[in-house]
Amino acid sequence: MPKDLAVGIHDLSFATGQLVLTHETLAAHNGTELGKYHVGIGQRSMSVPAADEDIVTMGAAAAAPILARHGADRIRTVIFATESSVDQAKAAGIHVHSLLSMPSATRVVELKQACYGGTAALQFAIGLVHRDPSQQVLVIASDVSKYELDQPGEATQGAAAVAMLISADPALVRIEEPSGVFTADIMDFWRPNYLTTALVDGKESVSAYLQAMDGAWKDYTEQGGRAFEEFAAFCYHQPFTKMAYKAHRALLESCGREVDEAEVVRAIGRTTAYNEDIGNSYTASVYLGLAALLDGSDDSDGSDGSDGSDGSDGSDGSDDSDDLTGRAIGLLSYGSGSVAEFFAAVPVPGYRSQLRSEQHREAISGRREIGYADYRERHEQAFPVDGGDHPAPRETTGPYRLAGLFGHKRVYEPR
């Protein structure tokens, strides 16, 4: 195995719930000033799963375009990261493996550590590819965040899945080797097995996040990572999008740099575009930020280089100053409890031709808006636990659906 082998994200795709509750609707119900949502926490709406959607259907919907483009022959491992698991024993990824008709010669596992699980899956996948560069690993991070009604966390809810194909010689971004990590035993956010909604200490959670970020950054620098000024942009885990701004200001201060608000916006502004409309997606959150950043650098005016450029300078034929080719992006992944990791991703030449910008924007714009009464009823719905047959209403317009619970068994099917 070559020591300088490049491994990273070969392809990235995301899916979200079919329904949406706007914060205008939520504010009208509870009397909250809308600015507290739009400005205070930086959220505009939240994705809500349809009655026949969950982490499996979203995960399969996110992964399907990747398999359609690349096939499954080289995928020997599927790692499913979530904190919204549908079973205490069986990996949710096995349902996805079945829905996508993947080869039986595949290992499938599920990982958990709050919102950090997606990054753990990514790093484990990189290790597998380093061991055998001919193989690829499918990583899926899928979650539905849910809090008690009329509690502060309610406004940050959301649902989404990100699928990433990890490969040698990646076509999207390569992941650099130095990585900074941090762990501390903190009860800032948790969900006991007997509860369906998470418990959170808001102030403690913000404090724990910033402590973990600082520790991960310091470890990153001690491991020989890049200097702060070498990064073109930063992607942070976003339990709410304004947390990314808080985190970046704290990192600037930790590095002894002046906090210039224009510079903060330049560094992270584009990374919040998807999360502010989707809400918190736990394990998928930081990678929705990466998708938003990369899609925002897309040549969205439709130019194909027909202005005479032949791309001989190594670019894709566009002189767009937003091109991130070869420019380091810092990623900070945080999971309550708590674990954090800081590492760098570098977009490779031609990455913009691999983007799924239109698909991602349609996933958000195509959601059906629901009213508060409808949302509240959905929030409280749950399958009976009597072992009977309980079909799910046919509702999703996505490619896969949860057919129902039959004899304690979740059954999934193509729509």
Among 10, 23, 97, 237, which one carries the catalytic annotation? 237
Tens of pLDDT, residues 244-283? 999 999 999 999 999 999 999 999 999 999 999 999 999 9
- Predicted local confidence at residue 1, as pLDDT: 47
Range of the domain at 55: 7-298+322-414
Q: How many alpha carbons fall within 13 Å on the CB side of residue 69?
A: 16
- Does residue 237 belong to any structural domain of this protein? yes
Helix (H) or strand (E) holding 386, with range, is: none
Mean pLDDT of 116-143: 98
* Tokens of residue 384, six digits: 């009976």
Mean pLDDT of 120-144: 98
- Does residue 229 belong to any structural domain of this protein? yes
What does the DSSP 8-state code read for residue 314? S
* Tokens of residue 119, six digits: 């990054």
- Per the structure, the count of domains in the chain is 1
Helix (H) or strand (E) holding 119, with range, is: helix 117-131
Q: How would you class 204 by CB atoms within 10 Å of its CB: exposed for 0-12, middle for 13-18, buried for 19 or more? A: middle
Told to judge if 235 belongs to the known catalytic residues of this protein, a careful annotator would answer no
- Predicted local confidence at residue 322, as pLDDT: 87
pLDDT at 299 over 90: no
Asked if 245 contacts 283 with a C-beta cutoff of 8 angstroms, the reply is no
pLDDT above 90: percentage of residues in the chain: 91
Cis peptide before 333 (omega within 30 of 0): no
pLDDT band at 297 (very low <50, low <70, confident <90, very high): confident
pLDDT at 171 over 50: yes
Q: Write down the mean pLDDT value for the chain.
A: 93
Among 10, 23, 97, 115, which one carries the catalytic annotation? 115
- Does residue 236 belong to any structural domain of this protein? yes
Among 10, 23, 53, 83, which one carries the catalytic annotation? 83
Buried b or exposed e, range 376-396, using 16+ CB within 10 angstroms: eeebeeeeeeeeeeeebeebb
pLDDT at 303 over 50: no
pLDDT at 200 over 50: yes
pLDDT band at 67 (very low <50, low <70, confident <90, very high): very high
- Does residue 230 belong to any structural domain of this protein? yes
Tens of pLDDT, residues 217-227? 999 999 999 99
- Does residue 304 belong to any structural domain of this protein? no
* Tokens of residue 377, six digits: 């009823």
Pairing of strands 158-168, 7-16: antiparallel
Told to judge if 83 belongs to the known catalytic residues of this protein, a careful annotator would answer yes
- Does residue 205 belong to any structural domain of this protein? yes
Tens of pLDDT, residues 348-384? 999 999 999 999 999 999 999 999 999 999 999 999 9
Pairing of strands 339-347, 400-406: unpaired
Q: The CATH number of the domain where 253 resides is what?
A: 3.40.47.10
- Does residue 310 belong to any structural domain of this protein? no
pLDDT above 70: percentage of residues in the chain: 93
- Does residue 257 belong to any structural domain of this protein? yes
